[in-house]
Amino acid sequence: MSPLKSVQFLLLALGALSAAAFARADVKVGDTFPALAPAQLVNLGGGDVPALSSKVTLVDFWASWCAPCKASFPAMAKLYGEYSGRGLQIVAVSIDEKPAAAVAFWKKMAPPFIALHDREQKLVQEVGVPTMPTSYLVDQSGRVRYVHAGFHGDLADLRKEIESLLAEKS
């Protein structure tokens, strides 16, 4: 290979690798949340996969092996009890690789909100969650308005954002 061709090859390789490194973009505040239907999610309760439009939605990613996720469920159930009457929808998405583990967790926790299973981890990869659990507060137009990463026993900031978004809606 001539020196010129070597340089061209190296530059091309550099470009391709750099593009691959920066191609993945995580969903952040202001982005449109990906549609749930194409990810082939399974509703653990047996119903349909809900649409994100027309309702303020909290999409929460959880796993049966994640201890903070387990701790967050009662807190989210409380949030749901307080705000579902005002139009809040909570969609909890399991990213478990083992369907039986997701189902067992769901049965044990018996949440009042919708629980889905991202069995092929398509949605979670598209969203690129930074930690487990992570919740995305999505407005009626499908845009992410707030991201709550992790669970430390307090959802005060999330509650504030929900209040604000529901007030905006009405």
| Interaction pattern, residues 36-65, with another protein; x per rule: CB under 8 A | -------------------------x-x-x
Residues 97-156 that bind another protein (CB under 8 A): 97-98, 121, 124-125, 129-134, 150-152
Minimum CB distance to another protein smaller for 25 or for 167:
25
Query: Alpha carbon of 47 to those of 44, 50, 81, 111, 161: distances in Å?
Result: 8, 9, 20, 14, 28
Cβ 3 to another protein, closest distance in Å?
A: 6
- Cβ(115)–Cβ(2) under 8 Å? no
Cβ 10 to another protein, closest distance in Å?
A: 5
Name the H helices within 32-83: 67-83
β-bridge partners, 94: 62, 117
Minimum CB distance to another protein smaller for 88 or for 116:
116
Most distant CA atoms of the chain, gap in Å: 71
Chain contacts with another protein (rule: CB under 8 A): 3, 6-7, 10-11, 13-14, 17-18, 20-21, 24, 61, 63, 65-69, 95-98, 121, 124-125, 129-134, 150-152
